[in-house]
Structure 1
Amino acid sequence: RTKSGLNRDCQCGKRFAYHASFNNHKLTHSGERPYSCPVCGKAFVLKAVLKQHMFTHQEQKPFSCPVCTKGFCNKQGLKQHMSKHCKVSALIG
């Protein structure tokens, strides 16, 4: 139980502090993906995630990897990519 007395524990084991986050998460278990990208057809559970995805189709990629110079449309994409370089360098040692 949370401070408000509401149980926001999902059947998959994840726990949420906010009711809205819990409701959004529950949609991932339904299998329904009502929001489709008009460019590539990829489908999403949430409209906000589709909106974020749409940036991947823009030509401009202002965030560049300092290791390999690959471009990204947002900081999050660059950050995820950079973690791959870190994992590879740790394996190579």
Structure 2
Amino acid sequence: SASSATHLKKHSEEKPYVCNACGRAFRWAAGLRHHYLTHTDQHPFFCRYCPYKAKQKFQVIKHIQRHHPDVPETLSNTTAPRPVPACH
């Protein structure tokens, strides 16, 4: 089944998705998509409470926890459109 194939992929050493900028390889297309941001100046994730922007969602979550601890926060407040990989 598709779900067992996905589960087996987690344990595989195969990493077919390769960054053509640096050669780093990933098991999942999503991993490569997120990685591409390290090669760009894009900061698609943002803080709703100040001008802070980041390349990755977890960076904004950590920022809010540190700098805006009294503000109620949900994960949806840091979402941005799916990044588009840069052509290299």
Higher relative contact order (CA 8 A, sep 6+): 2
TM-score under structure 2 length normalisation: 0.48
Larger radius of gyration: 1
Q: TM-score, normalised by structure 1?
A: 0.46
